[in-house]
Chains A and B, each alone.
Chain A
């Protein structure tokens, strides 16, 4: 048990470090002051933009320190979904929550990979970009089929969430479940769909509903 906790902690630490590093590089390399000025100058005065840059620099550390908290909440919720998923399938298991936590944590590397791809895309492929391009671009997502400037705001999140990496994440979760519960992959995938899949649909629905009401 001690080793599992220790293993989970090391894995968690690696995920945190990579996530913060990716965010730091993205903020410092991609979002230069010149880019911020050129992107915001259509809306704000120079005085406001300088104020914004000062504020951003002063409170940047808060953004970085929130990342581990957000990740921890996310991984915990996914683990919770997975551990509760067994109730909807006829699978019996005797495993503790921390086992599901490890699976969800390992699968998180898929999204870290997305971050790395996004960073590389703007660093080497689309070098002429705006702040909005960085904000809305999601590799291999349904949003790439549309021009985000032309579609309604409420559609952006569901289209971003519909992406190849999300499917890959489901497969990684199912693979972890298969190994843990010693069941067939199909059965494990069914558990992921019934637990995480449904939760994701509800989550996307809630965000869409909120965006619709606020936009």
Chain B
């Protein structure tokens, strides 16, 4: 192989390594910043089903908060929601915040279909711009983010999770 070709291949390899290194570092720093920002419930606001604004200040004090990020077309979200409807009573002093990037109409239909209205202390939010998804670094549906009564982060569950498992973690 000629010296010049060798040099070109060398440069390409160095470029690829630098590109990967830079992107990985940037992404890790971004994720760490989000982790730091969500150690306690971060301030946020989103629209409720009545098109009014709900903010983090409206969350009840002294209550455990469970954020459920879902999509009405996701099968695993359906299973998780069904489990919540069945077992939410086992969670004392808990407020459930259901967040979807879909429109209020679609969320409302889902709430009716899955009888989610039965869950007391449930808040349904439409996050059309995906701001809350960015804030909590959500990449899959469903994702459940759990905070204790002091608003401190407990755990993030990616994928379907049973309410009994969350309860075990909180106790």
Minimum CB distance partner of A48 in chain B? B79
- Neighbouring B residues of A212 by C-beta, 8 Å: 24, 27-28, 31
Chain B residues with CB under 8 Å of chain A are 1, 5-6, 9-10, 13, 16-17, 20-21, 23-24, 27-28, 31, 79, 83, 139-140, 158-162, 164-165
* A-B contacts at CB below 8 angstroms, number: 53
Alpha-carbon separation in the docked complex, A208 to B17 (Å): 13
In A12-62, the 8 Å CB interface with B consists of 41-45, 48
**B83 near A42 (CB under 8 angstroms)?**
no
Minimum CB distance partner of B35 in chain A? A152
Minimum CB distance partner of B27 in chain A? A212
Of the residues A41, A48, A208, contact of B24 by C-beta under 8 Å? A208
Q: How far is the CB of B33 from chain A (nearest CB, A)?
A: 14
**A43 near B162 (CB under 8 angstroms)?**
yes
**B24 near A43 (CB under 8 angstroms)?**
no
**B79 near A44 (CB under 8 angstroms)?**
yes
Of the residues B5, B21, B27, contact of A213 by C-beta under 8 Å? B27
Of the residues A42, A198, A208, A215, contact of B161 by C-beta under 8 Å? A42
**B21 near A205 (CB under 8 angstroms)?**
yes
**A215 near B24 (CB under 8 angstroms)?**
no
**A42 near B17 (CB under 8 angstroms)?**
no
- Neighbouring B residues of A205 by C-beta, 8 Å: 17, 20-21, 24
Of the residues B1, B10, B31, B140, contact of A152 by C-beta under 8 Å? B31
- Neighbouring B residues of A44 by C-beta, 8 Å: 79, 160, 162
Determine whether A87 belongs to the interface, using a CB cutoff of 8 Å to chain B. yes
Of the residues B16, B21, B79, contact of A45 by C-beta under 8 Å? B79
Minimum CB distance partner of A42 in chain B? B165
- Neighbouring B residues of A3 by C-beta, 8 Å: none
* Most A-side CB within 10 Å, residue of B16, B21, B24: B24
Q: How far is the CB of B13 from chain A (nearest CB, A)?
A: 6
- Neighbouring B residues of A202 by C-beta, 8 Å: 13, 16-17, 20
Q: How far is the CB of B159 from chain A (nearest CB, A)?
A: 7
**A87 near B21 (CB under 8 angstroms)?**
no
Minimum CB distance partner of A198 in chain B? B13
- Neighbouring A residues of B160 by C-beta, 8 Å: 43-44
In A84-105, the 8 Å CB interface with B consists of 87-88
